[in-house]
Structure 1
Amino acid sequence: MLSRTAEHLFWMTRHTARADHLARLLDACYQRSLLPAPDDAAPHAVHAANGWLTILSTVGLADHYRLSHRDIEPGEAIAFLAADATNPSSIVSSLRFARENARAVRGCLSAELWETLNATWLDLQRLIADGLHEHDPYAFFEWVKQRLYLARGVQMAAPVQNETSGFLHLGACVERADHMARTLEAHCDILQHAFDYHGANALLRAVSAHDAYREVYRDAIAPARIAALLIQCQDWPGSLAASVEDIRRLAVRLRNGQSAQTERLASQLCEEVRQAPLHEWFAGGFASGFASGFASTQGSVALRAWLVALIARVNELARRVGRDLVRPAIPEPVAAAA
């Protein structure tokens, strides 16, 4: 496969996954903002603004947002993250980039997948022009999630699992690992301090893990169990451990003469996630069910520091995947012959 083709396939699914993850984050934050603030918390407006700031921080856009907005208002934050074409990480920008990459390699995609992405882009423009994200954000986010569910289902229904499907899956796995690491770091307070049921529930919904939690634990929501599910649960494909393992497996499957270091880094990251000492960071949490919701100060600091370092490691792995697997350098004699 040509490296440029692999690059378009890889980035097509990275952008569709990014739009999907952002829609879920926004949906969870919007629904939580409709609830009254906890009795001991700041006023409702401040509480809601903090929630939107967390989302902006998760996607690395807090500083960008402040350049054009004085205050964090829910309507403005939603417009900026969902429908602002000048924001390269918004839902509309991500789906535009996904469609452009899909169009560049239309001959490699099934007709159903291309038509799904193209129709999604065209309908999205109409919905934004109609202002659906302004007067009914919930319906807008649900529409985005359902359309990207459909695209993912069409992609998985490919009759042959070849290089095309490999690079498509690789892009989604890289984005999923990055999203999970960033989301955990931005919502670390929920895992560290006094238990907030609505905050924990919103976190699970933001990463599509609410049903998985009920299936795995069949018990009340507790921070230590949330951390175990989102970080180390191999049985749930959205966890950090499962995402990094998928990257490692695909790196082996798509290996070339330049990807040995990428495979080693993926293997090291898999081991690092598997061996994260959650039982130490949540001392006594698993035994007691973590009903009180308090972690030790040392454990809180260690968890956040580990997540910050992990984000850098995941970004380094993503960079190496793009450099060594997706778009490897062509040896000079081959380039000259071409």
Structure 2
Amino acid sequence: MLSRTAEHLFWMTRHTARADHLARLLDACYQRSLLPAPDDAARPAANGWLTILSTVGLADHYRLSHHDIEPREVIAFLAADAANPASIVSSLRFARENARAVRGCLSAELWESLNATWLDLQRLVADNLHVHDPYAFFEWVRQRLHLARGVQLAAPVQNEPAAFLHLGGYIERADHMARTLEAHCETLGTAHGFDYHGANALLRAVCAHDAYREIYRDAIAPARIAALLIQCQEWTGSLAASLEEIRRLSVRLRNGQSAQTERLAQQLCEEVRQAPLEEWFANAQGSSVLRAWLNALIARVNELARRVGRDLVRPAIPEPVAAAA
């Protein structure tokens, strides 16, 4: 397969996954903001929106054109601002452009799903649905991207193009999970006590609330949340599961220059599996230790994404090597 085709497929799913993750983050923060709160809770509420901006790396960009952290302005900036390259609108535009470039490699259903999503999204933004009813807007985005992902997974042949589609999605998921956890470390345990509502919002932001109830069948606890989101192999959305899929796909797509990429993917899988989470949470400074570990991990996941793009998606000298996944 041409490297340019692989690149379009890879980035198509990265952008759709990015839009889905951002919609979930915004929806979780918006629903939490609707909870009754004392009059002096204005600052913590603002911090919740600031946390989202920090998670997606746009806090400084936002401050260039906005003076205060206002919920309506943050939602408009992250959901519908076409000038913001990381907004939901921009991400879905980029996804659609990449899909159109390789339309011949996609199933008719997948292209029609993405194209219809983009056309309908423009109408919803023009009608200011994200302003009048943020919940309905975020729900619509999630449902449309669920449909696209379902069409992708239902493909009758899981061939090389499908592998690049999956690879982009898993890389984006791993990066999103690590960044979201790092931004919410204080939620999992602070000197002021466990933030139940914040932890619940965190689980909803990464689509893990039902998984937590199914696996643990108990009250929400910080150590268990960390174990589920980071190491749980039973839940496909965990950091460990995403990295394992990246490792498996890098083996399947290997070529003559991807050995170091495979090695890094394997090292990250082992590092995440062996992280002593119980020991960290038994320590009073557990959240600080977790944050430092996650910061280092985010840098390594970004390095893995860069290597995947360089060695697998657009290799300088393609040298296919047969391999078992």
Q: Same fold (TM over 0.5)?
A: yes
Say if 1:251 and 1:325, in contact at 8 Å, map to a contact too: yes
- Residue pairs, 1:126-275, within 5 angstroms: 126-193=123-190, 194-275=193-274
1:287 alignment counterpart: none
Give the paired residue count.
316
Residue 47 (structure 1) shift:
2.1
Residue 137 (structure 1) shift:
0.1
Say if 1:12 and 1:98, in contact at 8 Å, map to a contact too: yes
Instruction: Tell me the alpha carbon deviations over residues 34-83 of structure 1, each in whole angstroms, 9 at most, x when there is no partner.
Output: 1123x6xx823222211000000000000000000000100000000000
SS in 2 for 1:282: helix
Q: Aligned pair 1:296/2:293, yes or no?
A: no
Say if 2:188 and 2:195, in contact at 8 Å, map to a contact too: no
Residue 191 (structure 1) shift:
1.2
1 CA distance for matches of 2:36 and 2:53? Answer: 21
SS in 1 for 2:147: helix
1 CA distance for matches of 2:230 and 2:309? Answer: 24
Instruction: Tell me the alpha carbon deviations over residues 195-229 of structure 1, each in whole angstroms, 9 at most, x when there is no partner.
Output: 11111100000000000000000000000000000
2 CA distance for matches of 1:116 and 1:78? Answer: 25
Q: Aligned pair 1:94/2:91, yes or no?
A: yes
2:48 alignment counterpart: 51
1 CA distance for matches of 2:228 and 2:137? Answer: 28
Larger deviation, residues 299-308 vs 240-249: 299-308
Q: Give the TM-score normalised by the residue count of structure 1.
A: 0.92
SS in 2 for 1:258: coil
1 CA distance for matches of 2:281 and 2:185? Answer: 13
1 CA distance for matches of 2:238 and 2:211? Answer: 10
Residue 279 (structure 1) shift:
1.3
Question: Which of 309, 312, 315 matches 1:322?
Answer: 309
2 CA distance for matches of 1:163 and 1:202? Answer: 37
Q: CA RMSD in A?
A: 1.0
1:69 alignment counterpart: 66
1 CA distance for matches of 2:276 and 2:24? Answer: 29
1 CA distance for matches of 2:109 and 2:262? Answer: 33
2 CA distance for matches of 1:257 and 1:121? Answer: 38
Q: Aligned pair 1:311/2:298, yes or no?
A: yes
Instruction: Tell me the alpha carbon deviations over residues 301-320 of structure 1, each in whole angstroms, 9 at most, x when there is no partner.
Output: 21111010000010000000
Unaligned runs of 5+ in 1: 284-294, 332-338
Counterpart amino acid of residue 235 in structure 1? E
1 CA distance for matches of 2:230 and 2:244? Answer: 12
Say if 1:36 and 1:44, in contact at 8 Å, map to a contact too: no
1:78 alignment counterpart: 75
1:290 alignment counterpart: none
Instruction: Tell me the alpha carbon deviations over residues 99-154 of structure 1, each in whole angstroms, 9 at most, x when there is no partner.
Output: 00000000000000000000000000000000000000000000000000000000
1 CA distance for matches of 2:140 and 2:66? Answer: 27
1 CA distance for matches of 2:270 and 2:70? Answer: 41
1:21 alignment counterpart: 21
1 CA distance for matches of 2:60 and 2:258? Answer: 35
Unaligned runs of 5+ in 2: 319-325
Identity over aligned pairs, percent: 86
2:322 alignment counterpart: none
Residue 6 (structure 1) shift:
0.1
Say if 1:259 and 1:325, in contact at 8 Å, map to a contact too: yes
Say if 2:13 and 2:169, in contact at 8 Å, map to a contact too: yes
SS in 1 for 2:156: coil
Residue 237 (structure 1) shift:
0.6
2 CA distance for matches of 1:302 and 1:199? Answer: 19
Say if 1:231 and 1:241, in contact at 8 Å, map to a contact too: yes
Say if 2:187 and 2:194, in contact at 8 Å, map to a contact too: yes
